[in-house]
Amino acid sequence: MIPNPLRTIWLNDQQEVQIINQTLLPHELRVETLHNVEDVYQAIVQMIVRGAPLIGATAAYGLWMACRDASEALLEHEIEKAANYLRSSRPTAVNLFVCIDRMMATISTVKSKSDKTAIALETAHAIVAEDIEICRMIGVHGLPLIEAISQRKAGETVNILTHCNAGMMGCIRWGTITSPIYQAMEKGIKVHVWVDETRPRNQGSNLTAWELGQHNVPHTLIVDNTGGHLMQHDMVDLVLVGTDRTTRQGDVANKIGTYLKALAAKDNQIPFYVALPSTSIDWTISDGLKEIPIEERNQDEVKYFQGLNSSGKIDTVLICPPTTPAANYGFDVTPARLISGLITERGICDATEKGLTELFGMF
């Protein structure tokens, strides 16, 4: 049964992990069951679940299954093997590694298989509950930004541009960039979202547009190259994007194309903010361009386009000569200097080491 209110991952009455198959949205809302570590790995690799916080949470439940399904004789070895396997699923979003490390640290505090299984489930549930609260708080801290623009415009519509999907479908509930938008809507502030389609996987047209529609948020779908034009013509008040990994100096990796939006925003003096759950901060690295691993995916994602055909079936079509080689970089890095601020669960800070450490006190 689909939970109400909707969320992206949950356990059913049989204690099975349930997720929404995001490769079928917006055409079909299909719930899938993840039975074991292999299902979890495939769900992450194929982007049946995607978005930094959600892949971290899904991997956490995968490690619970690894404990549950491990043999007594090879308990530690099999859990370690599962952790390494899940770590190899996608390279860029740091949440995956943060969640796996946290699960492994907790699991190692107890000895028996039943204790490991129990503590793994408890920790996976905690990761999910924390993400819900983190996103809610990002909304609390992001709301004043939207409010201030609305006041400056004497209550006229605030136009927000976003790229990819950093909404609920990338998290558990609320989402990161959508949380302040939903809270603004609740306060009666007029907002409108420009939704980048986000080629090649179309998280904008498939997921963000669907999600905003579900919440009655006025929005308009645009092709990825439109943002600059809109900014030049005063049609964007704020750019709001998510992140897969943010370094301690504030460089941000996010879906490919984010950097170009940041450049256009800078040229047009438009505020460019990143909604940043602290689980997406990689405190171990500084220089995003040199140190963040950028995922390269199968070229067929660029060469084929998926959609609903005239018979109402989900179909793919080839959009180039069959032999044309394609490159498919999943993410790019926006340097901190192009970012107006980071909206975190603890408040807004500069995209600098000082800004982040003042909020999170890591060093």
Interface residue list for ligand MRU (CB under 6 A): 50-53, 93, 164, 166, 170-171, 176, 203, 242-244, 254-255, 330
Nearer to ligand MRU, 37 or 166 (CB): 166
Give the span between the Cα atoms of 324 and 321, in whole angstroms.
5
Question: Among the options 131, 224, 237, 244, which is catalytic?
Answer: 244
Q: How many CB atoms lie within 10 A of CB 74?
A: 11
101 is catalytic: no
Q: Pick the closer one to ligand MRU by CB: 93 or 239.
A: 93
The answer to whether the peptide bond before residue 335 is cis (omega within 30 degrees of 0) is no
DSSP-derived pairing of the beta strands 252-255 and 245-247? antiparallel
- Residue 265: CB minimum distance to ligand MRU, A: 16
Q: With left for phi above 0 and alpha for psi between -120 and 50, is residue 135 left, alpha or beta?
A: alpha
Rounded least distance, CB 109 to ligand MRU, Å: 29
What is the amino acid identity at position 308? L
Nearest distance in Å: CB 245, ligand MRU: 9
Contacts 24+ apart (CB under 8 A), 344-349: 344/138, 344/141, 344/276, 344/277, 344/278, 345/133, 345/134, 345/135, 345/137, 345/138, 345/141, 345/277, 345/278, 346/137, 346/141, 346/278, 347/141, 348/141, 348/142, 348/145, 348/273
| CB-nearer residue toward ligand MRU: 159 or 203 | 203
Give the shortest CB-359-to-ligand MRU separation in angstroms: 18
What gap in Å lies between CA 276 and CA 273, rounded to an integer?
Answer: 9
Which residue's CB is nearer to ligand MRU, number 52 or number 217? 52
The least CB distance from residue 14 to ligand MRU, in Å, is: 28
Active site residues: 244
